[in-house]
Amino acid sequence: MSQRVVLVTGAAGGIGKCVAELIDKKKYKLRLMIRSKTNKKQTDAIGSFGEIVEGTLDNFEGLKQVFAGVDTIIHLAGVPDANATWESLRAANIDGAYNVFVAARAAGVKRVVFASSIHAISGSPRDFQAKTYEPVNPGDLYGVTKCFGEALARYMAEQEGLSAIAVRIGAFQPHASARKEDGGLWMMDAWLSQRDCVHLFECCIDAPADLKFAIVHGLSKNTFQRMDITDTCHLLGYKPQDNFTSEYPSLKPYKLEEKIVAHNVWDPEQKSGLRDQLPTMERDGKKK
């Protein structure tokens, strides 16, 4: 089986570098897009993981050239600043996203995996858990640009024939950050570990070819979740491994991931008062 050619924009950034390093090299042949101004140290850090190509989001013709022969694009490049002004966001996050999607379609790319963000729903109350199918509610202009990207992804999928998956990335941080007693608690309901992030992107690449469009949530298997990942797991076969409460020093001793159990109708240990009196249910051809 030949390797799929996967191009990563923003490959020298935090998530891009992680994807380049950890993604399965036996399955995917990487093309890592960086800006010409990327310093040598950043380039050297990813150079051994795939083919380095230069490209900028404002050069449409140049994007078509570097996208030639690519199966899937993971579009990570952009301005990731929740405090950014519209003027500083527009070129990369609006015009740049447009150029990537249209150039991908023109170059014959099959799928674009768009890095959206939890900021697309960050305007929701803190006690609200966002679902993939509910209206967006950005809490900042950065989130607004991600909502635009999601809408553009759907347009390109529904109207122009390009498969597109938008991944709302949560608090992408290494395990070391989740273990910082003095500064990690903010990500308790939004953490996305490095390995879970890469696994999710692999699931997006490998999703059935007939998957036209989807919005999925990128969080680890946290006990408390700002965004619901149920649809993501079911649709893509996503199986996150990490849980913030089992990493954070003050929470780890309580073993909350074991004591706070989510309702699961398929768990034989969870009773309902009626279930034992009813015929067994089937899911995926298997009886409960």
- Residues that are catalytic: 142
CB atoms under 10 Å from CB of 248, counted, come to 20
3-state helix, strand, coil in the chain (%, to 5): 40, 20, 45
Tokens standing for 282? 């089937």
The one-letter amino acid at 255: K
CA distance 224 to 222: 5
DSSP of 188-203, one letter per residue?
TTTEE-HHHHHHHHHH
Spatial CA neighbour of 197 closest among 71, 73, 15, 4? 15
* Residues paired with 286 in a beta bridge: 283
Specify whether the CB–CB gap between 95 and 57 falls below 8 A.
yes
Specify whether the CB–CB gap between 168 and 218 falls below 8 A.
yes
Q: How far apart are the first and last CA of the chain?
A: 36
